[in-house]
Amino acid sequence: MPKIIVLPHADLCPQGALFDAEPGLSICDNLLNNQVDIEHACEMSCACTTCHVVIREGFASLEPSDELEDDLLDKAWGLEATSRLSCQALVTDTDLVVEIPRYTINHAKENH
């Protein structure tokens, strides 16, 4: 079973996290199922960038992003070459090291 290592994030998991991932589920679902409360403002419909992550290891094991995801990623804070929307990237049989960026662009949250 593949593992996901989440690098420390000050708000979501200050110590980082390590857990067995379920292949075929999105990175976002795997994070949420393992008590890493990543934002997902659009309910994982590929309509925002709040679940943006950077894949530090295992990026090549993921299916390529599609045009819609790429267009949204262009708007993400802290975009890198190995950025993905965690709601769109499905876990395979390869371990992943994931970094959740410090900031997200969440207009609904920012307006409260």
Range of the domain at 13: 3-104
Q: Is 112 inside a domain boundary?
A: no
Q: Is 111 inside a domain boundary?
A: no
Q: Is the dihedral of CA 40, 45, 81, 91 positive or negative?
A: positive
Banded model confidence at residue 104, pLDDT cuts 50, 70, 90: confident
| Stretch 81-110: mean pLDDT | 87
Task: Give the CATH number, domain containing residue 9.
Answer: 3.10.20.30
CA–CA separation, 36 vs 100, rounded Å?
Answer: 10
- In the chain, the number of structural domains is 1
CA–CA separation, 29 vs 53, rounded Å?
Answer: 13
Q: Write out pLDDT tens, residues 26-48.
A: 999 999 999 999 999 999 999 99
Q: Write out pLDDT tens, residues 3-22.
A: 999 999 999 999 999 999 99
